[in-house]
Amino acid sequence: MPTPDPRAASSELKFRDPVRARAMVRALGRITDAIGRSPVSLMHVCGSHEQAIAKYGLRASFPAALRVIMGPGCPVCVTDAREVDEGVALALQGVHIATYGDMLRVPGSAMSLADARAEGAQVHVIYSAGQAVELAERVKEPVVFFATGFETTAVATAAIVLKGLPDNLSILSAHKFIPPAMDVVASVPGLAVEGFLAAGHAATITGWGVFEPFAERHHLPVVVAGFEPLDILAGLVRLLELVRDGTPAVVNMYPRCVTREGNLRAQAALWEVFEPSSGRWRGISVVPDGNLALRGRFAGLDARARFTIDVTPLARHAPPALAESCLCGSIMTGISSPTDCTLFGEACTPDHPVGACMVSTEGTCRIWHQYGGQPDLGDLA
Amino acid sequence: MCLGVPGKVIAIEGNCATVDFWGVRRQVLLDVVDEPVAVGDYVLNHVGYAIRRIPESEVGETLALFEELLAQDDAADLMAGDVRSEIAATGTVPDADA
């Protein structure tokens, strides 16, 4: 199969067009001026959006009055310390833990899974739910899949459950469902978010229709956007127009990947296996219906039912160093920026992370540390 | 992880497709893909599963971002790293060396 030349392919595409990019940057300024408030705060809820905004330096081109902040869009980061504690406790009890790589160094209330591994626990990094099945088939001993991620990733967990798990494999679900967290963040006093940019690929599963009740309830517009720099600029322009006009509509600016109803087959699998349950998100406290718990008929596969998970040994360990100074919680709700944190880039770095936001490649701190939050944008200036 | 990764279906056996990712052949599962998939289609994949058949007219636009990311050859880049993780999440083809 001939592989197209990437440079040739991308240079022809309309979203690479610098003229169009400049026009959109001017539109952002014009519409922000027309709104006449400062700041106008828009929130996105996706690590990949933040990566693209930071990587391509988009913030440098935003008008001064426009604030684009990242909310709880990093699934690893919002995994609660108590959920990490459950995984760590199981690992220290001698159970094999399989989990996505980003989870390894996320701090629990005392230890991370990497710390447990350093103490001799069996912690395995996997890239897919299917690899948890392969691991269980290989090791024969009890394996727990510490399953994290938003609805997009939970679909894969649902798929392996529906296919049938090996007897020695169970699931510790820390899966999260984004729309209820948007409800919580939209109500945070003082945050004053005026519109949400929703993540394209999560909406591939849920469909953009999932945001309509939210938009109506909070009287806030939602725009679904893709991950190209120009996809994001176009999404922000549309979102600002809706803010200016006071229209709490849901608009899909990513039709090449997102439909109104979404992927019905994936939704059927997701809701056959999981049900919404209220639980803690790191930094956000309790999110009503924000967790995805295994349904009762799958209780036999639920690690919380299969094992007595004893987190008391963790109380013997001191809390992670500097944890009390970490601003991760308020960074994840969009109240603070990484640069507001005294630890950022000093005591807290990707090599020596203090908080979850510096661990995950989708965490705001990690992304800002890599790319800078507001780098120059020479060719669009 | 939000990004997913697109690839071209080159063979299908049951619910398992062999997919080409820029010359690398891997296996993805079709259990939860939104529409029937045929050889020659492009699919968007996340953690080992195809989640969307990409309409033909939209393949070029969808591929471009990924091609730029992978062409940069920067091991530290977070977006490119997430795309590589998505490819690592797919299965190995049993007879890949045949």
Summarize pLDDT for A216-236 with one digit per residue, the tens.
999 999 999 988 888 999 999
pLDDT tens-digit map of A241-256: 999 999 999 999 998 8
Where in chain A are the domains? Answer: 53-317, 321-371
Phi first, then psi, for residue A109 (nearest 5°) are -70, -20
Question: Whole-angstrom distance between the N-terminal and C-terminal Cα of chain B?
Answer: 32
For residue A159, give the nearest of B1, B23, B29 by CB distance.
B29
Cβ within 8 Å, pair B20-A1: yes
pLDDT tens-digit map of A146-171: 999 999 999 999 999 999 999 999 99
Cβ within 8 Å, pair B48-A129: yes
Cβ within 8 Å, pair A263-B2: no
Q: Which one of 3.40.640.10, 3.30.43.10, 3.40.50.150, 3.40.50.11740 gives the CATH number of domain A53-317? A: 3.40.50.11740
User: Which residues have C-beta within 8 Å of that of residue A36, sequence separation ≥ 6?
Assistant: none
Give CA–CA dist A32/A253, Å, rounded. Answer: 20
Lowest mean pLDDT segment, chosen from A205-209, A301-305, A312-316, B46-50: A312-316
DSSP A170-209: EEEEEEB-HHHHHHHHHT-TTT-EEEEEEEHHHHHHH-GG
Give pLDDT, residue B2: 62
Give the residue on A whose Cα is nearest the Cα of B7. A3
Give the residue on A whose Cα is nearest the Cα of B64. A10
**What is the least distance, in Å, from the CA of A51 to any CA of chain B?**
7
Whole-number percent of chain A with pLDDT over 70: 93
Burial class (CB in 10 A: 0-12, 13-18, 19+), B67: buried
Give the residue on A whose Cα is nearest the Cα of B21. A3
CA count, 13 A, side-chain hemisphere, A194:
22
Cβ within 8 Å, pair A13-B61: yes
Of B53, B69, B67, B64, nearest to B22 (Cα)?
A: B67
For residue A256, give the nearest of B29, B58, B79 by CB distance.
B58
Cβ within 8 Å, pair A3-B23: yes
Q: Please tell me the pTM assigned to this model.
A: 0.91
Q: Taking residues A350-373, what's their average pLDDT?
A: 90
Q: Taking residues B46-63, what's their average pLDDT?
A: 89
DSSP A89-107: HHHHTT-EEEEEGGGTT--
Q: Encoding tokens for residue A1?
A: 């199969």
Mutate to test the interface with A, among B32, B43, B83 (most CBs of A within 10 A): B32
For residue B51, give the nearest of A10, A127, A205 by CB distance.
A205
Give pLDDT, residue A115: 95
Cβ within 8 Å, pair B52-A263: yes
Cβ within 8 Å, pair B64-A155: no
Task: Count CB-CB contacts under 10 A for residue B24.
Answer: 12
Cβ within 8 Å, pair B79-A156: no
Give pLDDT, residue A373: 67
> Tell me, what DSSP letter sits at residue A302?
B
Give pLDDT, residue A374: 59
Question: Whole-angstrom distance between the N-terminal and C-terminal Cα of chain A?
Answer: 40
Q: Encoding tokens for residue A222?
A: 């939602």
Q: What is the predicted ipTM?
A: 0.89
Give pLDDT, residue B60: 85
Residue A377 scores a pLDDT above 50: no
Residue A88 scores a pLDDT above 90: yes
